[in-house]
Structures are given as C-alpha cells and as structure tokens.
Amino acid sequence: MPKATQSDMPNTQSATVKSAARVLEIFEYFDEMRRPVTIHDVAETLGYPHSSTAALLKSLVALGYLDHDEKAKTFFPSIRISLLGNWIEAETLPVRNIHRLMQHLSDETGCTVILAMRSGAYVQYIKVLQGTTPIRFHVKPSTRRLLPFSTIGRVLLATLPQAKAHKQIEEAFSRDLKSVTQTPAQIEDDLAKIRRRGYAFYTGLVTPNATMLAVQVAKTRTGEPVAIGIAAPKEHFRDRKQAYVDLMRQAIETCLTQRTRGVDELAPFDIAEEETY
C-alpha cells in the first residue's frame, strides 16, 4: 500500500486527535508535578510548540479545568478536575487505597512505582510515582509495552488462560523481534512460575541494569486485572529482594481490603524459588 501523503490525511480529525492527546498528557503532567507550572514548563517537558501549548492551556482555563495566576504566569488544575472522577472509585477500583499503597511503597523503597493495566496486546502504565534513588529511570505515564517483554506485563499475562496467553506471546513476537531475549516456550515457562509465586522479578527485561518486582493487586469491576511494580537500578535490589517481596505483600494487605468491591483474593507470595540477576 502506498504511503499516504499530507493531502490524503483527514487534517481536521488528525488535529482533533492530537489536541485530545495533548490535553490528557497535560493533565498527567500536572499529576506528576503537583505544583503550578508555566507555559514554558509544559512546552519544554512535553515537547510541544510554545504557541500550541499556550493555546491549549488558555482554552482549559476558559473551560474551567485550569486556574491561571496572571501575576505569576502559572497554571494549576481547578477544583473541577478533582471532582470529575470522584464517582469512579465506587465503580472500578478502591482509588484512594491504591494511591495510598503506591505512596507507601515509594516512601519505603525509593523505587519508581508503576500501576498498570492490560490494553490489548500491551501493558499500559496508568499512574507512575517517580523514584528517589540516586540513580533512577524516569518512566512516563501512558507508556505502553508489549505484554511478554516487560515485568509488569508478564504479571498481567499470567492472569490469562494459557491458550490466550500463548496467542498474546505469538502476537508480540510478530510485532517486535528486537525485544526478544527468550523463546515463546521459555516465556510460557516463566508465566507458570509467576502464577505459582504470585509475582514477577526481572532485571534488564526492558532497560539494561533496571530491575522490577511486580504483582497483581486487584481487578476492576469488569474483571480486568491491575498490577503494580517497583523499579530501580539492579544494585538497589541486591540483598533487598525478599524484604521488598514481604513489604509489598504487607502493604497490599494493609492498604487494600480483600473484601473491597472489585478486588479479588490476591495470589500468595512464594519466595522459596531462587532467582538470579
């Protein structure tokens, strides 16, 4: 099929989609920064043209989603944003408890904490608390990775029936052979271990020398599993793995009640099976 030219593109629709994506990225940026920001801050961090950033922020002010301090030339989410999602907590996940869990893991470990869900053949990061270790890897919310090629993705993949997980692995191999370090059979063997242990633990699966420990924490009202992972440089996990496994288990039991609507029983943690870096 020949490559479409600019004149072939539905310009209005493309521009609308791009604007919608940018609005959501701006809200995610505020969620990460949690302070007033300038037009320059947003444009530089997100890589948007200054003029487009100014127009978007001013539009969001006009719609009541952002407050604007004219003297300081800064923007900050309005109360309208905080009220938008209040009703979702009762319908999907125990949101406040999840936030509490993520913050507790961040405070106790200094690791980057990632909350993720499955999106088709991908795992998508839906919330990220950046790490505070001296050397850390910056992870952007909304990042997507093929399920078999990330630690947290494998936790979600392990929740699927074996036949469906097999199809997802085959699909991932058909899309991206650059990320392949194991055969499909080896990945399926690893999924069996994850199901038995209740967690996944890998180094270098996505980024060299980066280690992640991940577990399933809940299911949404529609039955979609949700996973959480802590990530840091490999050396940060040395001699801490078992302590972090125990910490995650205790934190989940404390912050998430298993009888909360939408939350299933958690898989048991088994740390007897030896793993290597």
> Which residues of the chain form CATH 3.30.450.40?
88-255
3-state DSSP helix/strand/coil % of the chain, to nearest 5:
45, 20, 35
CA 68/CA 42 separation, integer angstroms: 14
CA 55/CA 158 separation, integer angstroms: 44
- 169: its two tokens: 């692995």
Contact between 22 and 45 under an 8 Å Cβ cutoff? The reply is no
Selected from 3.40.718.10, 3.40.640.10, 3.40.605.10, 3.30.450.40, the CATH number assigned to the domain covering 88-255 reads: 3.30.450.40
pLDDT exceeds 90 at position 119? no
> Which residues of the chain form CATH 1.10.10.10?
6-83
CA 127/CA 228 separation, integer angstroms: 10
pTM of this structure: 0.69
Q: What is the pLDDT of residue 272?
A: 38
How many CA atoms within 13 Å lie on the side-chain side of 108? 16
Selected from 3.40.50.1970, 3.40.50.970, 1.10.10.10, 3.10.50.40, the CATH number assigned to the domain covering 6-83 reads: 1.10.10.10
DSSP string, 133-181: SSS-----TT-EEEGGGSHHHHHHHTTS-HHHHHHHHHHHHHH-STT--
pLDDT exceeds 80 at position 270? no
Q: What is the pLDDT of residue 235?
A: 93
pLDDT > 70 in the chain, percent: 82
CA 153/CA 187 separation, integer angstroms: 12
Which residues face 145 on adjacent strands?
123
Close Cβ partners of 53 (under 8 Å, ≥ 6 residues apart): 39, 42, 43, 46
170-195 residue pLDDT tens: 999 998 877 778 899 999 999 999 99
For 17-42, what is the mean pLDDT?
88
* Mean pLDDT, the chain, integer: 82
DSSP letter for 9, please.
S
